[in-house]
Amino acid sequence: MQALDDTRAILRDLIAFPTISTDSNLAMIDFLGERLAAAGARVEIHRDATGAKANLFATIGPEREGGILLSGHSDVVPVADQDWTTDPFTMVERDGRLYGRGTCDMKGFIAAAVAMAPLYAERAVERPVHFAFTHDEETGCLGAQALAQILRARGARPAVAIIGEPTSMRVIEGHKGCFEYSTHFTGLEGHGSGPDRGVNAVEYAVRYVARLLELKEALKARAPKGSRFDPPWTTINTGALVGGVAHNVIPGKARVDWEMRPVQAGDADFVKADLHAYCAHTLLPAMRAVMPDADIVTETIGEVEGLVPADGNEARAIVMELTGANGADTVPFGTEAGIFQALGMSAVVCGPGSIEQAHKPDEYLALDQLAECLTMLQRLAGKLGG
Ligand SMILES: [Zn+2]
């Protein structure tokens, strides 16, 4: 199969770019841009504020709404402290598998999509096909969020998004979001013998955590009917509570690290509004009665939207038809799909390889998975009207 040989060759080149999230991805993005431009795509490269990272957005076919977006992240997780049998940045083929960092998560899908570009250039007469290759997915979907801002501002937006994260080519229509925060408490230090003369930051942090526990219960009652997630409701986890120095000192600082995993958009707002009111009306007035500068500040570490299973999901219908799947599932890991869904696109996750192999030493992609992905992408050409 010519397409498989082409894809394998592109993937070999992609694996050789060590695009760990902490490092630049520009060389790989330029490489992809040149490949796509050679096939006739209109290529845009958008750098981030540091200038060291970039997103690629490219279009083949007419400049109009309703296109199909193939999306993948260019970054990979680190290899330090992992015991690899071979060099992670040199692709090695063995026993029907392609080994290397990023083979399954998720340069295999990117290589397959780029290998299809010449075919799409022939066939995309009615419906455009777009490519989005992003930076910093592994560190909070930063690239996709930046790309979403750009897409939001333009008229001709894609209608359907296929995110090729490794799902063993299963069609995935839902995953929870992941919202992470650190809440910082600033009180007033003092001697432990006079608790009322200080503002005990740890005690206020504990009251905040108690409120999180109440919200955790309240969220269970808000679980949408027929929710397909496990567990079916939005969860909250308190991951760390840090503060204090010694038995006899009133702690002036404390921090709570916590996360929530929303199953629906309204839940995050519900939690935030409740916490805001609780701090403004209960905790802060008590703290500031002793110390006017006392404060509670919540730092957002990341807010990655979930992918909400939707009725009449065109992306699901298309990908189920292309893969011959007779159903769609949910997964417990996050992707960029929710960000595209929040822009009004229908979105599914479907890509080659297993999430089991992602992020591990000796990460690999089975060639038969790659072949299945290519079959799907080849059939997709039939949806472009040519
Ligand atoms: Zn990934």
Q: What is the mean pLDDT of residues 141-146?
A: 92
Full-model pTM: 0.88
Q: How far is the CA of 280 from the centre of ligand 1 (A)?
A: 39
Question: Taking ligand 1, which is a single-atom ion, which protein residues have CB atoms under 5 Å away?
Answer: 105-106, 165
| pLDDT at residue 339, as a whole number | 94
| pLDDT at residue 156, as a whole number | 79
- Asked if residue 188 lies in contact with residue 243, where contact means CB atoms within 8 angstroms, the answer is no
- Give residue-wise pLDDT tens across range 186-219: 999 999 999 999 999 999 999 999 999 999 999 9
Specify the DSSP class assigned to residue 157.
-
Is the pLDDT at 376 greater than 90? The verdict is yes
| pLDDT at residue 8, as a whole number | 97
Q: What is the mean pLDDT of residues 42-47?
A: 98
In the block, tokens 């949408």 appear at 224
Is the pLDDT at 180 greater than 70? The verdict is yes
Q: How far is the CA of 271 from the centre of ligand 1 (A)?
A: 28
In this structure, the number of other CB atoms found within 10 A of the CB of residue 327 comes to 9
| pLDDT at residue 155, as a whole number | 77
Identified catalytic residue from 105, 136, 137, 305 = 137
Q: How far is the CA of 158 from the centre of ligand 1 (A)?
A: 21
| pLDDT at residue 337, as a whole number | 96
- Give residue-wise pLDDT tens across range 83-99: 999 999 999 999 999 99
The Cα 97–Cα 331 span in angstroms is 24
Is the pLDDT at 386 greater than 70? The verdict is no
- Asked if residue 109 lies in contact with residue 131, where contact means CB atoms within 8 angstroms, the answer is no
Identified catalytic residue from 75, 136, 173, 362 = 75
As given in the structure block, the two tokens for residue 77 are 């997780």
Look up 75 and say whether it is catalytic.
Answer: yes
The Cα 5–Cα 26 span in angstroms is 25
Specify the DSSP class assigned to residue 197.
G
pLDDT band at 360 (very low <50, low <70, confident <90, very high): very high
Give 104's contacts (C-beta < 8 A, 6+ positions apart): 166, 352, 353, 354, 355, 357, 358, 363, 364, 365, 369
Q: What is the mean pLDDT of residues 16-43?
A: 97
Give 114's contacts (C-beta < 8 A, 6+ positions apart): 10, 32, 35, 36, 131
Look up 293 and say whether it is catalytic.
Answer: no
* Among candidate residues 311, 384, 316, the one with its CA nearest the CA of residue 68: 384
- Asked if residue 263 lies in contact with residue 234, where contact means CB atoms within 8 angstroms, the answer is yes
The Cα 234–Cα 265 span in angstroms is 10
Write down the mean pLDDT value for the chain: 96
- Asked if residue 222 lies in contact with residue 262, where contact means CB atoms within 8 angstroms, the answer is no
